[in-house]
């Protein structure tokens, strides 16, 4: 409705893609649930300048709380400014180097990198030459996933990184990067570890273009999105060798925001759990996700029935009132 909400919450997303769209949808649903939140979402296309301007605009509009996924670590001056003005700031998914924030929520990217390393060390028994394809090199998840992965590779003799490239988190960017690698003399590899599934698929498309044998290369990513055509399905049908869930959890992000806004207790550091996805568990995870989706549908149907009953009741009340007056 158009009635004034109690809290204005600004969300500054660094980019737009399936992962962030899912998160935004969860935030919208959570905002509806709390009833009192005017949620404003902006998207910056991984452009530092644009994200800075969008954050400044939220601050000037006087939002009550700011939620930011900083595209790159260098975005912090704008966030610092908001924080210094007394606006509570939640940093999620990506980080900056500044400690001027109220709370952080997100998964442990270093651990995601190292678990993937451990898994590959255990499974790449007949060929451990890895092409690592990092995400945007100035964004914190790429730096942390890289650190975690490399720390394991260094002490596991069966696997090694023979090529290390970095792209921009997109499928197209990864395709271009790997396409140009394969157009020049390069080291052969048995496995691609890309920092997300979209890039893993871009790398796969480039490998296909150059006639590499896709049966012999294991493509791994991160995110394991559960919807149609997402990473979880790609692992289940063998297109990807492995992935790792990277939780969106808009509900948790919004709960943290509400706790801060309402002066309740909250933790400054909030870790979301995530897990390795392989052919052994992908099907079960997909089934669980289906079930959750069914229940969510069910709940929203119930909600609209309750809303309808309430409005029918109101109409009847007015009707009765009119009858009584005349």
Q: Which is nearer to ligand FRU, 88 or 230 (CB)?
A: 230
Residue 224 CB, nearest approach to ligand FRU (Å):
10
302-303-309-314 Cα dihedral, nearest 10 degrees: 180
Joined together, the tokens standing for residue 66 give 């700011």
Residue 60 CB, nearest approach to ligand FRU (Å):
26
Q: Which is nearer to ligand FRU, 59 or 143 (CB)?
A: 143
Q: Which is nearer to ligand FRU, 128 or 135 (CB)?
A: 135
Q: For the purposes of burial, counting CB atoms within 10 Å of the CB of 212, is it exposed (0-12), middle (13-18) or buried (19 or more)? A: middle
- Residue whose Cβ sits closest to ligand FRU: 196
Q: Which is nearer to ligand FRU, 128 or 141 (CB)?
A: 141
Residues forming contacts to ligand FRU in the complex (CB under 6 A) are: 15, 17, 19-20, 93-94, 135, 141, 169, 196, 222-223, 246
Residue 21 CB, nearest approach to ligand FRU (Å):
9
Residue with tokens 């001027």: 100
Residue 244 CB, nearest approach to ligand FRU (Å):
9
Residue 305 CB, nearest approach to ligand FRU (Å):
35
SS (H, E, C) 69-135: CCCCHHHHHHHHHHHHCCCCEEEECCCCCCCCCCEEEEECHHHHHHHHHHHHHHHCCCCCEEEEEEC
Q: Which is nearer to ligand FRU, 149 or 169 (CB)?
A: 169
Q: What angle do CA 198, 199, 205 make, to 5 degrees?
A: 95
Instruction: Determine contact, residues 63/8, Cβ cutoff 8 Å.
Output: yes
């Amino acid at each position: 409705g158009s009635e004034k909400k109690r809290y204005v919450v600004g969300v500054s997303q660094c980019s737009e893609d399936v992962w962030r769209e899912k998160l935004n949808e969860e935030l919208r649903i959570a905002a509806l649930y709390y009833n009192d939140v005017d949620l404003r979402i902006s998207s910056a296309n991984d452009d530092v300048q644009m994200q800075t301007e969008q954050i400044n605009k939220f601050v000037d509009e006087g939002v009550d709380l700011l939620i930011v996924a900083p595209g790159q670590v260098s975005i912090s001056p704008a966030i610092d400014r908001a924080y210094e003005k007394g606006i509570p700031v939640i940093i999620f998914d990506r980080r900056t180097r500044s400690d001027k924030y109220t709370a952080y929520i997100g998964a442990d990217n270093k651990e995601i990198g190292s678990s993937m390393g451990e898994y590959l060390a255990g499974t790449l028994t007949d060929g451990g030459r890895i092409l690592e394809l990092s995400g945007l090199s100035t964004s914190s998840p790429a730096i942390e996933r890289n650190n975690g992965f490399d720390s394991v590779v260094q002490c596991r003799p069966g696997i090694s990184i023979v090529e290390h490239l970095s792209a921009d988190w997109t499928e197209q960017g990864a395709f271009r990067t790997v396409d140009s690698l394969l157009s020049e003399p390069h080291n052969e590899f048995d496995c691609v570890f890309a920092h997300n599934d979209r890039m893993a698929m871009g790398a796969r498309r480039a490998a296909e273009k150059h006639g590499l044998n896709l049966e012999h290369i294991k493509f791994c990513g991160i995110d394991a999105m559960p919807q149609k055509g997402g990473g979880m399905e790609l692992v289940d049908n063998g297109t990807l060798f492995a992935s790792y869930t990277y939780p969106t959890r808009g509900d948790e992000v919004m709960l943290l925001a509400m706790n801060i806004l309402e002066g309740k207790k909250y933790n400054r550091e909030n870790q979301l759990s995530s897990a390795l996805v392989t052919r052994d568990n992908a099907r079960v995870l997909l089934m669980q996700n289906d079930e959750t989706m069914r229940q969510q549908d069910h709940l929203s149907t119930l909600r609209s029935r309750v809303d309808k009953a309430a409005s029918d009741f109101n109409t009847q009340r007015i009707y009765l009132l009119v009858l009584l007056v005349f």
